[in-house]
Structure 1
Amino acid sequence: MISIVFLACQAQENQNKTENKPIIHHNEDSLAVIAFEQEHKQINQISQQLGTVSNGSLVHGKILPFYGENFRYFDYKSYLASRAFTSDIVRKIILNSYKKLYEFLPNRFLYLMELSNKNGGEIYPHRTHQNGLSVDFMMPKLKKGTPYYGLDTLGARHYLLKFNNKGQYTKDKEVQIDFNLIAQHLLILNEEAKKMNYKIEKVIIKVELKNLLYATDYGKKLRESDIYLVQNLSPLINGLHDEHYHVDFRKN
């Protein structure tokens, strides 16, 4: 059974490698997430973030849209499992950051990954994401200098992709992480957060990739900013943050 599942996953990944644009499937899954979003977005109460990102809960959580002008949530099953909720403030910060990026890069598409449960609390396998202040963002990628989306529709399996310490996909080194775009996005996120009296508390990214991030044009500005990138991580946590960057927010 494991071999059959592995081969099926491998076949889909190989097929996705040939794609050079985002894939938006309009099928039963997409109809289900539209209905799910409609069902849960009519919550007018102000969100409350209780406790900490690693030991907390969320009251009146708000769901993120599955689609946007320049972004998409990464996985149907995760969305329908109520893993795309956050606080009302963080929701605004995220959406405003995508809106701002669209002004600079109207032809670039980004993928949003897991946030919090509707009511917060433990969300396996994450150690944080408990009170609506944690967000995972998928690494944007390039292939031969061109935006590449061929690995972005693997759903939860995307968390298992491996990139080496040069930011290259281990199975196809022509696919590389777009560090400049990550740095630009982080700067915009922090700027939008400060407008709401919030800020980025910390960013988790594989520590061996930090110098590549800082070496870019926007990375130089990121290094000079007040955005904190974690300095040390356990081998397990470090290895899990080579294909996404994790952001925690806090009230300023």
Structure 2
Amino acid sequence: MNYLSYRLVIVLLTGIFSTVLLPVLVSAEPSTCYGTTSNGRLAEGVELPSKGTNFVTYSFVARLAGRTYIHSDVRDIIVSTYKVLEQEQPSKVYKYAETGFKNGGKFSPHKTHRNGLSVDFMVPVVDENGKSVHLPTNPLNKLGYNIEFDNDSHYDGMHIDYEAMAAHIVALHQQAKKRNREIWRVIFAPELQPNLYSTKYADYLKSHIQFSKKRSWVRHDEHYHIDFVVPCKQ
């Protein structure tokens, strides 16, 4: 093996270690959140896994930049939810997006995501053949955040999979409750929210999930923002 080949192997192994193995080996101390989602910070933040059987991060580069850290309780809720969905929605795939920095604090361009309790999830979609696919997230569409769905929930041959999305929100809430945690709110485009109530999960959503009814400063149609409730210090 020549020198250049050797260096390439070292770089690749270092990348694998930092993106996959390192989060498992770091401190197992539980996280502590401070303040609020819009004015807070985080201690002992943990990183979400880069991928799993049915999910993937929105950007490996953004992950390396430290933008997918979260409170350890929320991490456990998210990971266990994906495991549940492997059984309940075996043909569906999911993608998470921005969460926050390891130590929380200001997280531009977001107004929240500051204490480890806020998570963005890209909407699950199906292609023209009805197959569950990942919403494309790349620099050309601002990692997915620049995508705009029309009023019929279509974009570039894809359609929002409301059944998969509703199943995800319900499973997140149920996994949170199992850990004596809660979901505070879900932010999703108000004009698209009625589609969730056309799924088999409608009654559960109406009874347990609080959707924000006002328009946010940016349209939440390509992703849904979820704030979790975890005891925080002031």
Matched, 1:38 2:21: yes
How many pairs were matched up? 218
Whether the aligned pair in 2 keeps the contact of 1:184 and 1:219 (CA below 8 Å) is: no
Which ranges of structure 2 fall in alignment gaps of 5 or more residues?
1-10
Q: Does 1:209 align with 2:192?
A: yes
How far apart are residue 29 of structure 1 and its match?
7.9
When residues 91 and 203 of structure 1 are mapped into structure 2, their CA distance, relative to the original with a 3 A threshold, is same
Q: Deviations over 1:189-247 (max 9, x none)?
A: 00000011111100000010011111122234312x2210001124x32x2x1100000
Alignment of 1:233-244 (within 5 A): 233-234=215-216, 236-237=217-218, 239=219, 241-244=220-223
| Aligned amino acid, residue 162 of structure 1 | E
- Counterparts of residues 9-158 of structure 1 (less than 5 Å): 32=15, 34-41=17-24, 42-144=26-128, 146-149=130-133, 151-154=135-138, 156-158=142-144
How far apart are the structure 1 equivalents of 2:15 and 2:144? 21
Displacement, 1:48? 0.3
1:34–1:141 distance in 2 versus 1, CA, 3 Å: farther
**Aligned twin of 2:225:** 246
Query: What is the CA deviation profile of residues 54-97 of structure 1, one whole-angstrom value per residue up to 9, with x for unaligned ones?
Result: 11000000111101111111101210111111111000000010
Taking a change above 3 Å as real, the CA distance of residues 35 and 145 of structure 1, as seen in their structure-2 partners, is same
SS at match of 2:213: coil
**Amino acid corresponding to residue 189 of structure 2 in structure 1:** K
* 1:104-125 per-position Cα deviation (integer Å, ceiling 9, x unaligned): 1223221111111010001111
Structure 1 residues 141 and 81, CA, compared in 2 at 3 Å: closer, same or farther? same
Kindly indicate whether residue 155 of structure 2 is the aligned counterpart of residue 176 of structure 1. no
Aligned twin of 1:231: 213
Q: TM-score, normalised by structure 1?
A: 0.80
- Aligned residue in 1 for 2:174: 191
Are 1:183 and 1:213, in contact at CA under 8 Å, matched by a contact in 2?
Answer: yes
100-109 or 186-195, which deviates more: 100-109
Unaligned runs of 5+ in 1: 1-27
Q: TM-score, normalised by structure 2?
A: 0.86
1: distance between equivalents of 2:12 and 2:45? Answer: 23
Name the residue aligned to 1:14: none
Contact 1:33 1:80 in 2 (8 A): no
Where 1:197 maps in the other structure, the secondary structure is coil
Amino acid at match of 1:202: R
Q: Give the match's secondary structure for 2:201.
A: helix
Coordinate RMSD, CA, aligned: 2.0
1:132-165 per-residue CA deviation (whole Å, 9 max, x = no partner) reads 0001111010123512436424264311011012
Contact 2:58 2:143 in 1 (8 A): no
Runs of 4 or more, structure 1, over 6 Å off, are 28-31
One-letter identity of the residue aligned with 2:131? P
